[in-house]
């Protein structure tokens, strides 16, 4: 067994439940530390803290699998996957057949993401430890979900940081088409499993889209960074008057239009615009009653926080200048380097500069199938606010 000994005083975060050991916290390693091997982690004084996956190629040197002096055995993998799937089963019904089944550290399965899309699954295997267990993972998922296919989308930068190469393709069965049509709260969407963003669809916004539908009835919408048009589909299907769907990607406009068509939304009720959202909001003379800001990640790491903060402030200020009196603004950040407190401060600064009176109606997060470890702030990546701008 590989043994990892921490430097003196570097055990506090683990004792409080944080699942990562950074390279600077490690004093020395005993044993053959092959990438992704299971190791036991000890304090400087020799007290066992728990077990994890070790990877000397990563700045996150150990990803914990157990705590409080307990050890982990690979045979426990199947039970953890089964428990994670069982937690999400109540979310699936005749109106919704897609959700996240396994959420990495949030389910004590670091580096494993499993999303259900109708009859099949899309997985991401992002750490060396999980990579070593790929065959076991496929077997477990096959047994507890009986999927028509399991497609792998392990093509992210996270694998590169683990010293792994990107990988995608079918692990079980056959993907019938690149797009799989799924149901979410009665709406139909094309999930581009093979080539789309993330694993094909932004499942984490499910509850927030449903809330948006309640506010959008009878209103004009500007759906910024619209990608697949999810917020607009919810709004228009719930009686919104008109929607502008804005995204810099021309492909996004095609996807958004296809999703509107899937839900029998007449083309006269919306318009797609392929443009930089910042430029669009600066130049448009339109005023909207509802605006959604759901931008891509502005900060991938702590070194980008300052630049990201300026970006978030600018886009929120532009939205507040383009929203009608008593308008509703849904604003989000998916940058895990921007914590909820900082995001709220950024939006507050935008409100101050806009000289508008702004009320907070809701504080939002990812859907409950994206559960995260309460000690792992990095897992709370999606944060949002619903604001009334007077």
pLDDT digits (tens, 9 = 90+) for 56-109: 999 999 999 999 999 998 889 999 999 999 999 999 999 999 999 999 999 999
Cβ atoms of 50 and 73 closer than 8 Å? no
For the sheet with 220-224, list strands across it. 270-274, 242-247, 220-224, 288-293, 323-333, 383-389, 358-365
Backbone angles phi, psi at 352, to 5 degrees: -60, -45
The 3-state DSSP class for residue 325 equals: strand
User: What is the per-residue pLDDT across 55-70, written as a single tens digit (0 to 9) for each?
Assistant: 999 999 999 999 999 9
Backbone torsion region of residue 265, taken as left when φ is above 0, otherwise alpha when ψ lies between -120 and 50, otherwise beta: beta
Question: Residue 5 CB: number of other CB atoms within 10 A?
Answer: 17
- CA nearest neighbour of 330 among 321, 322, 314, 319: 319
**DSSP calls for 50-90:** EEEEE-TTSSEEEEES--TT----GGGHHHHHHHHHHHHGG
Domain with CATH 3.30.750.80 in the chain: 75-181
2-72 CATH pick, 3.40.640.10, 2.60.40.10, 2.30.130.10, 1.10.1740.10: 2.30.130.10
C-alpha to C-alpha distance for 117 and 120, rounded to whole angstroms: 5
pLDDT value, residue 176:
84
Residue 234 neighbours by CB under 8 Å, 6+ apart:
185, 187, 209, 210, 212, 213, 216
pLDDT value, residue 73:
87
Cβ atoms of 110 and 129 closer than 8 Å? yes
Q: What share of the chain is helix, strand, coil (3-state, %, to 5)?
A: 35, 30, 35
Helices (H), the chain: 12-15, 77-88, 128-132, 134-145, 157-161, 206-216, 230-237, 250-262, 277-283, 305-321, 340-354
**CATH no. for 202-389:** 3.40.50.150
Domain with CATH 2.30.130.10 in the chain: 2-72
pLDDT value, residue 254:
94
pLDDT value, residue 178:
76
> Can you name the CATH fold of 75-181?
Transcription Regulator spoIIAA (3.30.750)
Domain with CATH 3.40.50.150 in the chain: 202-389
pLDDT value, residue 186:
97
**Which residues of the chain fall short of a pLDDT of 50?**
none
């Amino acid at each position: 067994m590989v043994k990892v000994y921490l430097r003196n005083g570097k055990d506090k975060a683990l004792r409080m439940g944080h699942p990562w050991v950074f390279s600077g916290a490690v004093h020395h390693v005993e044993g053959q530390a092959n990438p992704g091997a299971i190791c036991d982690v000890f304090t400087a004084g020799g007290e066992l803290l728990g077990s994890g996956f070790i990877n000397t190629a990563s700045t996150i040197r150990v990803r914990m699998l157990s705590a409080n002096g307990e050890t982990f055995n690979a045979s426990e993998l199947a039970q953890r996957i089964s428990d994670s799937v069982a937690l999400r089963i109540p979310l699936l019904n005749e109106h919704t057949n897609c959700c996240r089944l396994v959420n990495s550290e949030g389910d004590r399965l670091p580096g494993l993401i499993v999303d259900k899309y109708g009859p099949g699954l899309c997985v991401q295997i992002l750490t060396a430890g999980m990579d070593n267990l790929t065959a076991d993972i496929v077997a477990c998922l096959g047994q507890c979900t009986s999927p028509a296919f399991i497609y792998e989308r392990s093509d992210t930068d996270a694998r590169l940081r683990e010293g792994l190469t990107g990988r995608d393709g079918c692990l079980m069965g056959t993907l019938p088409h690149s797009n799989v049509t799924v149901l979410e709260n009665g709406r139909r969407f094309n999930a581009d499993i093979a080539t789309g963003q993330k694993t094909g669809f932004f499942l984490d916004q499910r509850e927030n889209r449903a809330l948006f539908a309640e506010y959008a009835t009878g209103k004009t919408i500007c759906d910024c960074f619209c990608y697949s048009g999810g917020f607009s589909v919810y709004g228009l299907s719930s009686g919104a008057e008109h929607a502008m769907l804005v995204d810099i990607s021309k492909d996004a406009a095609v996807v958004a239009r296809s999703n509107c068509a899937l839900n029998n939304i007449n083309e006269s009720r919306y318009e797609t615009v392929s443009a930089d959202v910042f430029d669009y909001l600066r130049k448009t003379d339109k005023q909207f009653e509802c605006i959604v800001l759901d931008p891509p990640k502005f900060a991938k790491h702590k070194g980008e926080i300052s630049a990201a903060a300026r970006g978030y402030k600018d886009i929120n200020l532009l939205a507040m200048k383009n929203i009608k009196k008593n308008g509703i603004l849904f604003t989000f950040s998916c940058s895990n380097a921007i914590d909820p407190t900082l995001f709220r401060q950024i939006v507050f600064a935008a409100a101050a500069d806009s000289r508008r009176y702004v009320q907070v109606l809701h504080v939002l997060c990812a859907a409950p199938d994206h559960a995260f470890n309460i000690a792992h702030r990095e897992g709370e990546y999606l944060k949002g606010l619903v604001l009334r701008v007077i």
